[in-house]
Structure 1
């Protein structure tokens, strides 16, 4: 296969097809969930897990919303506090939610994958972290060599904390960096030294973590090509196994902390594209493989191997090597996937505590997927994870005539095909190197909900 570095980034095509669109961590996307799908509906599907002999392994997600300080760019559901009384209370309710969900769960309790997100999961004290993992292991079986990951803020983590995480079973870590430039850090209220970051990464390697990922953001205030090149040099010196390169979406109308960012400090669209182009070139020249959307990984990383073998999957935590798990989610705003359903918990602590005080699951909304949803989800997954789609396999799996069923979609793809983003023949839809950065825009063509309302302003730009 030809080296795709030169064609991966095409500024003219990016400008032409860079529209607002979802990230497709689920399909249908979370904004399509309905409140008619409630706790009773979720309990029903927890009880259906082993019907007909289908007994998928489990993936668990825990949302820890607390942070010591606020990062102005952040769009996560978080609570700024230094009071560990709040986190101690929260963990007691998480334990209750674990018990409630587990009591309604039919089938096996084997867990292949666990992820702690936030907020800042490492806000928790050592005692609190032990308490949480004891509650998890009290209801579930974390199988040996599973994928157990945690998001880490290096500013509050030392070797002892990393060692504790290893002792508790964590073997993957995502380290938040965003940018090492002091000017950028000042502008987003996240002061974090290279030395702090290196200490955590070195500690994780010493303890035996299998994979270390690093998060970067392009398009932040005060950022430019020269400063971000220095950040990339420092990141490459640290040599993480994976790198996530996210586009900053400035939506101050939706996210109040972003109102503290001055619009005059934002890089111009041209400069933002130049930063992205630089990052892609530097990372690929350093040997990282472009996995998809905003993820890069070393050639021997599990994600890269899974993509080569056709096993890559995408869920609410991003790219994953485990496709066939039921995802159970715990904590405020957490989203799960069990059987043909998605669910999301309530978003505030008061609502969360009130529901659990009533011995109710704190479900806000959800959705039961239709056959059409399942069909389109499989297409979007294939495009996002593998950059290609076997038309024949879809026809066999879903008993449809692909070209008749998706006649309008294929017509809409023609412009992208003529532009060189993809190629369509009798058997395959293949995303070409120039289309990889725009795979979200390609996937959107198959989104029935977007086709119905054409309402794309609620999403961030693809690039």
Structure 2
């Protein structure tokens, strides 16, 4: 008998990483130090392209669904002190680079970057321009909380050079919003989108979540319909990651109110159908974009990538993470800053780097990282994809062939010499990718559900 969708969920909706890196962050270790990071930065070429991620770890309200490293504050003084420390880290990184590299992308995330006052936001832009060489066409995205925004902040973001506004919506249903402590009306969200459009910001992204407490297919469908009415350029459709052992505030969400794996799967599939039926292109397993958007174009021409911000067309040679808990990616491997904000501030204010841990990649790590990213971006792995890895690449394709031969549920197949994830298997691509993860069962890391 053919395997039913319900049986597939039971078998493959397991807890696996999101694979925004390989190896994943739980495997980072303290053997990577500020001195290691400094050496790596100094090896970047004069013409290297750089992407900057700046983490602002403060919110004036704590959303109970949030899995980010953030702190709740109702006063601005801690934010201002943190910004001084961030400037110090920018200076430290600039000293290591010594003028090398060109910044092609900047992303402000959090937390809530829109907590920054207009004056401080513009001071940050000036400090970046003083320290780095910014490309004339640098792409700049900022995560926006509609509850923090006003005309001064709108104008400051435009003066900063904003090219993409990213708004967290999650769900418009008031019952769901109350359960996650994220009250945000459709009218508030529309006002931000309209203000961005009126000021010439060319791209708007909306983040939606499925798998939230008290959420149903009907409530999610209404949210998707409302989101589409705003004509966004991109929509990210994430599955809520319930990890109360990592984020204690998630214990405020009653487990009994959460949809089970079958309901989550149905929600995700329904929302994806609505988005593609509205003319959006599916990008990987959880993003959607208008056909003319750069993510959709990257999907079509095979240049889509994946990093700590999810799917991207950012092709920078190095991702420089700035701020508490920020993660960077260089050719040699990964680095992550100190997570506790106070420790981070003390460290960088003393003129040192803030690297707390990271991971230096081996040749096999590079191969598997490339294979996993390729599968998550293109749902296929060809001999050409691994050809540059020689015998190790050929061995990995044989490993993939064995996986295909053992698959009895129609999730993967060998199409000639190509290992391909079938349409049936695409919702479970994270679980499929996990089969190539040599570190998955090492250590005690716990993960969220794969659907």
Q: 1:6: which partner in 2?
A: none
Q: Distance in 1 between matches of 2:291 and 2:222?
A: 24
Cα distance, 1:19 vs structure 2? 1.5
Cα distance in structure 1, aligned partners of 2:160 and 2:349: 29
CA distance in 2, matches of 1:269, 1:37: 37
Q: Is the 8 A contact 1:25 1:316 kept in 2?
A: yes
- 1:49 matched to 2:41: no
**Residue in 1 aligned with 2:34?**
39
Give the structure-2-normalised TM-score: 0.95
- Write out per-residue CA displacement over residues 216-250 of structure 1, whole angstroms, 9 at most, x where no aligned residue: 11111111122222111211111211111111122
1:137 aligns to what? Answer: 129
1:414 aligns with 2:402: no
Structure 1 partner of 2:395: 404
C-alpha displacement at 1:180, in angstroms? 0.3
Which residue is equivalent to 1:102?
Answer: 94
* Kept after mapping to 2: 8 A contact 1:57/1:108: no
Over 3 Å counting, the alpha-carbon distance change for 1:398 and 1:92 in structure 2 is same
- Tell me the distance in 1 between the aligned counterparts of 2:258 and 2:358: 36
Is the aligned partner of 1:394 residue 2:386? yes
Secondary structure in structure 2 of the residue aligned to 1:360: coil
- Aligned partner of 1:462 in structure 2 is 450
User: Which residue pairs with 1:221 in the alignment?
Assistant: 213
Question: Equivalent residue for 2:414?
Answer: 424
Determine if the alignment matches structure 1 residue 70 to structure 2 residue 62.
Answer: yes
How far apart, CA to CA, are the structure 1 residues paired with 2:257 and 2:32? 43
Of 248, 261, 265, the match for 1:269: 261
- CA distance in structure 1 between the partners assigned to 2:247 and 2:278 by the alignment: 35
Cα offset, 1:448, TM superposition: 1.6
The alignment yields a C-alpha RMSD, in angstroms, of 1.9
Q: Provide the C-alpha distance between the structure 2 equivalents of 1:439 and 1:456, rounded to a whole number of angstroms.
A: 23
- Once the two structures are TM-superposed, the CA of residue 168 in structure 1 deviates from its matched residue by 1.1
State the distance in 2 between where 1:139 and 1:248 align: 37
Q: For residue 3 of structure 1, what is the aligned residue in structure 2?
A: none
Distance in 1, matches of 2:19 and 2:318, equals: 17
Q: Count how many residue pairs are aligned between Structure 1 and Structure 2.
A: 448
Distance in 2 between the 1:10 and 1:128 partners?
51
Question: Which residue number corresponds to residue 81 of structure 1?
Answer: 73
- Note if contact 2:244-2:250 (Cα within 8 Å) is conserved in structure 1: yes
Distance in 2 (CA, whole Å) between partners of 1:307 and 1:85 is: 43
Corresponding position of 2:250:
258
Rate the CA distance shift 1:106–1:375 in 2: closer, same or farther, 3 A: farther
Gaps in structure 1 of 5+ consecutive residues: 1-8
1:4 counterpart residue number: none
Note the C-alpha offset of 1:264.
2.4
Partner of 1:156: 148
* Pairing partner for 1:320 from 312, 318, 335: 312
State the distance in 1 between where 2:74 and 2:17 align. Answer: 33
Alpha carbons 1:242, 1:296 under 8 Å: kept: yes
Alpha-carbon deviation of 1:414? 3.1
Per the TM alignment, residue 147 of structure 1 is displaced from its structure 2 partner at its CA by: 1.6
Among 426, 430, 440, the alignment partner of 1:440 is 430
Cα pair distance change 1:329/1:196, threshold 3 Å:
same
SS at match of 1:144: strand
Task: Give the distance between the partners of 1:106 and 1:370, measured in 2 at CA.
Answer: 27
Q: What residue ranges of structure 2 are gaps of 5+ in the alignment? A: none
Partner of 2:371: 379
Assess if the C-alpha contact under 8 Å between 1:72 and 1:257 holds in 2.
Answer: yes
Is 2:367–2:393's contact at 8 Å kept on the other side of the alignment? no
In structure 2, C-alpha distance between the alignment counterparts of 1:270 and 1:462, rounded to whole Å: 12
